[in-house]
Amino acid sequence: MPAAEVDALLATARTFVREVLVPLESQLLHGTWAHSEPLLAGVRAEARARGLWAPFLPRALGGLDMPLDAYARLSEVLGWTPYGHYACNCQAPDVGNMELLLQFGTDQQKATYLEPLARGEIRSCFAMTEPEHAGSNPVWMSTTAVRDGDDLVITGHKWFTSSADGASFAVVMAVTDADAPHRHARASQILVPLPAPGYTLVRNIAVMGESGGGWSSHAEVRFDGVRVPFTNVLGAPGRGFALAQERLGPGRIHHCMRWIGICERAFDLMCRRAASRELAPGDVLANKQQVQFWIADSRIEIHAARLMVMDAATRMAREGQEAAREEIAYIKVFVANTLQRVLDRAIQAHGALGMTDDTPLAWWYRHERAARIYDGADEVHRSVIARRALKPYLASATPRD
pLDDT in tens, 78-94: 999 999 999 999 999 99
Per-residue pLDDT at 392 exceeds 60: yes
Cross-strand bridge partners of residue 200: 222
Per-residue pLDDT at 251 exceeds 90: no
pLDDT in the model for residue 300: 98
Show the 3-state SS of the chain. CCHHHHHHHHHHHHHHHHHHHHHHHHHHHHCCHHHHHHHHHHHHHHHHHCCCCCCCCCHHHCCCCCCHHHHHHHHHHHCCCCCHHHHCCCCCCHHHHHHHHHHHCCHHHHHHHHHHHHCCCCCEEEECCCCCCCCCCCCCCCCEEEEECCEEEEEEEEEEEECCCCCCEEEEEEECCCCCCCHHHCEEEEEEECCCCCEEEEEECCECCECCCHHHCEEEEEEEEEEEEHHHEECCCCCHHHHHHHHHHHHHHHHHHHHHHHHHHHHHHHHHHHHHCEEECCEEHHHCHHHHHHHHHHHHHHHHHHHHHHHHHHHHHHHCCHHHHHHHHHHHHHHHHHHHHHHHHHHHHHCHHHHCCCCCHHHHHHHCHHHHCCCCCHHHHHHHHHHHHHHHHHHHCCCCC
Per-residue pLDDT at 136 exceeds 80: no
Q: What pLDDT band is residue 401 in, cutting at 50, 70 and 90?
A: low
Per-residue pLDDT at 322 exceeds 70: yes
Whether residue 156 contacts residue 144, with contact meaning beta carbons closer than 8 Å, is answered with: yes
Rounded to whole angstroms, what are the CA distances from 326 to 186, 371, 389? 26, 18, 10
Whether residue 87 contacts residue 40, with contact meaning beta carbons closer than 8 Å, is answered with: yes
Q: Which amino acid is at 383?
A: S
Q: Is 265 exposed, middle or buried (0-12, 13-18, 19+ CB in 10 A)?
A: buried
Cα 249 → chain centroid: 11
Q: Compute the distance between CA of residue 127 and CA of residue 170 in angstroms, rounded to an integer.
A: 7
Tell me the mean pLDDT in the region 321-327. 90
Tell me the mean pLDDT in the region 23-30. 92
Domain boundaries, the chain: 3-91, 124-237, 242-395
pLDDT in the model for residue 400: 65
Q: Which amino acid is at 337?
A: N
Which CATH superfamily groups domain 124-237?
A: Butyryl-CoA Dehydrogenase, subunit A, domain 2 (2.40.110.10)
pLDDT tens column, 353-367? 999 999 999 999 999
pLDDT in the model for residue 279: 94
Q: Which residues of 306-345 are buried (b: 16+ CB within 10 A; e: fewer)?
A: bebbbebbbbbbeeebeebbebbbbbbbbbbbbbbbbbbb
Q: Compute the distance between CA of residue 363 and CA of residue 59 in angstroms, rounded to an integer.
A: 35
Cross-strand bridge partners of residue 132: none
Tell me the mean pLDDT in the region 387-397. 92
Q: Compute the distance between CA of residue 169 and CA of residue 345 in angstroms, rounded to an integer.
A: 40
Q: What pLDDT band is residue 167 in, cutting at 50, 70 and 90?
A: very high
More confident residue, 112 or 209: 112
Per-residue pLDDT at 203 exceeds 60: yes
Q: Compute the distance between CA of residue 269 and CA of residue 351 in angstroms, rounded to an integer.
A: 12
pLDDT in the model for residue 134: 84
pLDDT tens column, 211-239? 889 999 999 999 999 999 999 999 999 99
Q: What's the Rg (C-alpha) of the chain?
A: 22
Q: Is 394 exposed, middle or buried (0-12, 13-18, 19+ CB in 10 A)?
A: exposed
pLDDT in the model for residue 321: 87
Closest CA to 374 of 237, 254, 223, 233: 254
Per-residue pLDDT at 398 exceeds 90: no
Tell me the mean pLDDT in the region 17-41. 93
Per the document, the length of the chain is: 401
Measured between its terminal Cα atoms, the distance across the chain in Å is 60
Q: What pLDDT band is residue 175 in, cutting at 50, 70 and 90?
A: very high
Q: Compute the distance between CA of residue 334 and CA of residue 236 in angstroms, rounded to an integer.
A: 34
Average confidence score pLDDT of the chain:
95
Q: 376 φ, ψ to 5°?
A: 100, 110
pLDDT tens column, 287-307? 999 999 999 999 999 999 999
Model confidence, pTM: 0.94
Sign of the four-CA dihedral 6, 9, 10, 11: positive
Domain 242-395 has CATH 1.20.140.10: yes
pLDDT in the model for residue 249: 80
Q: Compute the distance between CA of residue 21 and CA of residue 43 in angstroms, rounded to an integer.
A: 8
Q: What pLDDT band is residue 53 in, cutting at 50, 70 and 90?
A: very high
Per-residue pLDDT at 36 exceeds 70: yes
Tell me the mean pLDDT in the region 238-256. 89
CATH of the domain spanning 3-91, picked from 1.10.3720.10, 3.40.225.10, 1.10.540.10, 2.60.40.1120: 1.10.540.10
